[in-house]
Chains A and B, each alone.
Chain A
Amino acid sequence: MRKTFLSQNPSVLIFIALLAIFTIAVTLLSEVTGVGLISTSFVKTLGKTLCLSLVAIAMDVVWGYCGILSLGHFAFFGIGGYAIGMWLMYARTEGIVMTSLASQPLPPTPAEISDAIGNQIFGVVGSSEFPLIWAFADNLFVQLLMVVLVPGALALVFGWLAFRSRVTGVYLSILTQAMTLALALYLFQNDSGLRGNNGLSGLQNIPGFEDSSQAKVSIAFFIASAFALGAAYIGFAWIVSGKMGSIVKGIRDNEARVRFLGYHVESYKLFIFTTTAIAAGIAGALYYPQAGIINPGEVAPIASIYLAVWVAIGGRGRLYGAVIGAVFVSLLSSWFTGGGAPNINLGFYTVQWTDWWLVLLGMSFVAVTLYFPKGIGGLFDYLVRKPS
């Protein structure tokens, strides 16, 4: 089965091969092997870009293939980050607290430990109580499960509600945007139990690996991200090829027709919406330990719209297009906003790219929508003759 699937989709093989070569090359050139051509911070940037590519693939499946323009998939990404961030922050704080309590003459009681940890984590929002949602924060396994379950459950409930009442098209987009806004507003609250505005921080310090250098940790996460991206690429390519792909694309192009063929369209949409949400959550869980900090701003609706922008620029309806879009736009964006791009002196005015990058992005996005609806990925159609 897998064999025929791969042989029918050569682009998957090519992608996986390129990804493997890239991963090995980066690892060999990183500081871990002593070569050090690629700095640790750039390894982190690359690792994060891989995670963004992963969530972009998910977005492409749900939008490019299934036609649901979700403006909420970055929220699922954020939830994944929060779920793993809770454990990272708890476990690390626990370590620090235990060290400081160990120097005291009396061994600490469980309540004292919990109070001390709570104080450390929630002091910034004026509390030391552990909210209910932190009940399993000490358990890595449960939190890893949360990375999958919380975005999955949220997508399942939201999708079930929305799809069963036949909310489609722009209405659905607005509804997903509203959901994202509600989530962001909730997280902004101090009594959300997730440190409000402050978010979760210090996530780059992995408990149990305090002695390992950041160079090693970041390479480990980079490789993990590459594996996740590869696995998701194969998985989603498998889903969108074959009969499932036919039906999903059919729903995108003519939902009613698929329904009259006897398919329960809502179940298919729900399946796609939920699996992509889970993928987004996993991507987030890999991204934020590399970013080091997560705050509610990351979840805001605008982030999800940017996600759609990446996919559109990269070329939707083809998975590698989503990857190209995410890599291209996010790296370009950090090049422009990070001051890497040279300013243009017009004599009477100097164009500073830190100020003008968003204008350029916005306008080029309009241009892509108008003139290159297939995005960058569409260029491949000219290079490769489509196998029919």
Chain B
Amino acid sequence: MSMLLEVNGVSVTFDGFRAINNLSINFAPTELRAIIGPNGAGKTTFMDIVTGKTKPDEGTVVWGERNISLLGMSESQIAREGIGRKFQKPTVFEAQTVRQNLAMALKTPRGPFSVLMHKKTKANGARIEAVAEQIGLADSLTRSAGELSHGQKQWLEIGMLLAQEPRLMLVDEPAAGMTPEEREKTTDILREAAKTRAVVVVEHDMEFVRRLNCKVTVLHEGSVLAEGSLDHVTSNQTVIDVYLGRSHA
């Protein structure tokens, strides 16, 4: 089957430090994938490259059926192509209501003039309410996002991703700071979302990854160390070395 996103031989260097080293990784149109790896493995930098925040020194990033190169596109163009991103720290617009947050993310024309002339429609309203339902914030639509709890903010941000209707969701540590119940709900949301699109989750928490029950890619020093089911990669000796300390070094 053809791939949604193909990252090939990408490298990037910061002040002599090779954050990403000849990284190649592919994602199918509908799949749930977890990316794990120790600190400094290049997880966040990988997301930066895909979303256009960082330009790689070499390699290609090819997107979709029409094989568009994402390199040279701006962040907003890439986002409009259908790649959504959730940050490590929950970043929602705290001064605005949950509804406004979701409305902003809703898949509508993005130009300033169409936004200026934008009119509220029933369909959009329904879509917002559906997303709010999905993330468990249906009762909080008129609340200010700043008043939400940490977990709710995480959900709101996931909800904003969903409202964007992306084909690829990049989710950075969605479970950080959540209670066990909240984690469970988060898992459900992500697994549901992955039925119709590719969802890539970067996570430290092995328990959470296990619950996602999906293919796992292990990053180390900027390239792929191992790939497969969680049980497969956790039985890999090099992965164990990386995680449990470099006994040889």
Asked if the two chains touch in their complex, CB atoms less than 8 Å apart, one says yes
Interface pairs (17), CB distance under 8 Å: A242-B118, A244-B118, A246-B93, A247-B115, A249-B93, A254-B93, A258-B104, A259-B76, A260-B51, A261-B76, A261-B105, A262-B76, A264-B74, A264-B110, A268-B112, A271-B112, A388-B144
Q: What chain A residues lie within 8 Å of B160 (beta carbons)?
A: 261
Is the interface on chain A under 10, 10 to 19, 20 to 34, or 35 or more residues?
20 to 34
Q: Does A364 contact B (CB under 8 A)?
A: no
Contact of A262 among B100, B144, B164 (CB under 8 A): B164
B84 touches A260 (CB 8 A): yes
Contact of A244 among B75, B77, B79, B116 (CB under 8 A): B116
Contact pattern, A 151-181, Cβ under 8 Å of B = 1, otherwise 0: 0000000000000000000000000000000
B85 touches A263 (CB 8 A): no
Q: Does A383 contact B (CB under 8 A)?
A: no
Q: How far is the CA of A52 from the CA of B82 in the complex (A)?
A: 45
A244 touches B112 (CB 8 A): yes
Contact pattern, B 60-93, Cβ under 8 Å of A = 1, otherwise 0: 0000000000000011110110001101000111
Q: How far is the CA of A271 from the CA of B114 in the complex (A)?
A: 13
Q: Does A239 contact B (CB under 8 A)?
A: yes
B94 touches A253 (CB 8 A): yes
**Central interface residue in A243, A268, A388, by most chain B CB within 10 Å:** A243
A262 touches B95 (CB 8 A): no
A250 touches B79 (CB 8 A): no
Q: Does A1 contact B (CB under 8 A)?
A: yes
Is the interface on chain B under 10, 10 to 19, 20 to 34, or 35 or more residues?
20 to 34
Q: What chain A residues lie within 8 Å of B233 (beta carbons)?
A: none
> Given that A260-B75, A262-B80 are contacting pairs, would A253 and B93 also be in contact in the complex, using a CB cutoff of 8 Å?
yes
Q: Does B245 contact A (CB under 8 A)?
A: no
A276 to chain B, nearest CB (A): 14
Q: Does B189 contact A (CB under 8 A)?
A: no
Given contacts A250-B104, A260-B84, A271-B112, 14 further A-B contacts (CB under 8 A): A247-B115, A249-B96, A250-B96, A253-B95, A256-B75, A256-B91, A257-B87, A261-B76, A261-B160, A263-B76, A263-B79, A264-B74, A264-B77, A388-B144
Q: What chain A residues lie within 8 Å of B119 (beta carbons)?
A: 1
Q: Does B103 contact A (CB under 8 A)?
A: yes
Q: What chain B residues lie within 8 Å of A265 (beta carbons)?
A: 76
Q: How far is the CA of A88 from the CA of B96 in the complex (A)?
A: 47
B104 touches A259 (CB 8 A): no
Q: What chain B residues lie within 8 Å of A256 (beta carbons)?
A: 53, 75, 91
A246 touches B100 (CB 8 A): yes
A246 touches B76 (CB 8 A): no
A254 to chain B, nearest CB (A): 5
Q: What chain B residues lie within 8 Å of A1 (beta carbons)?
A: 119
Q: How far is the CA of A237 from the CA of B51 in the complex (A)?
A: 34
Q: Please give the residue numbers on chain A whose beta carbons come within 8 Å of chain B beta carbons, in ascending order.
A: 1, 239, 242-244, 246-247, 249-250, 253-254, 256-265, 267-268, 271, 388
Q: What chain A residues lie within 8 Å of B103 (beta carbons)?
A: 243, 246
Q: What chain A residues lie within 8 Å of B142 (beta carbons)?
A: 388
> Given that A239-B116, A243-B104, A250-B104 are contacting pairs, would A260 and B85 also be in contact in the complex, using a CB cutoff of 8 Å?
yes
Q: How far is the CA of A258 from the CA of B91 in the complex (A)?
A: 10
A251 to chain B: closest residue by CB: B93
A155 to chain B, nearest CB (A): 15
Chain B, range 132-176, C-beta contacts under 8 Å to A: 142-144, 160, 164
Contact pattern, B 106-117, Cβ under 8 Å of A = 1, otherwise 0: 000011100110
Q: How far is the CA of A246 from the CA of B92 in the complex (A)?
A: 12
Q: What chain A residues lie within 8 Å of B95 (beta carbons)?
A: 249, 253
B115 touches A244 (CB 8 A): yes
B93 touches A264 (CB 8 A): no
Sorted nearest first, the 9 A-B pairs with minimum C-beta distance are A262-B79, A262-B80, A259-B75, A264-B76, A243-B118, A271-B112, A257-B91, A246-B100, A250-B93
> Given that A243-B118, A261-B164, A267-B112 are contacting pairs, would A254 and B91 also be in contact in the complex, using a CB cutoff of 8 Å?
yes
> Given that A257-B93, A261-B160, A388-B142 are contacting pairs, would A246 and B111 also be in contact in the complex, using a CB cutoff of 8 Å?
no
Q: How far is the CA of A246 from the CA of B164 in the complex (A)?
A: 16
Q: How far is the CA of A268 from the CA of B111 in the complex (A)?
A: 8
Q: What chain A residues lie within 8 Å of B87 (beta carbons)?
A: 257
Q: What chain B residues lie within 8 Å of A258 (beta carbons)?
A: 104
> Given that A239-B116, A242-B118, A253-B93 are contacting pairs, would A247 and B104 also be in contact in the complex, using a CB cutoff of 8 Å?
yes
Q: What chain A residues lie within 8 Å of B85 (beta carbons)?
A: 260
**Central interface residue in B94, B100, B103, by most chain A CB within 10 Å:** B100
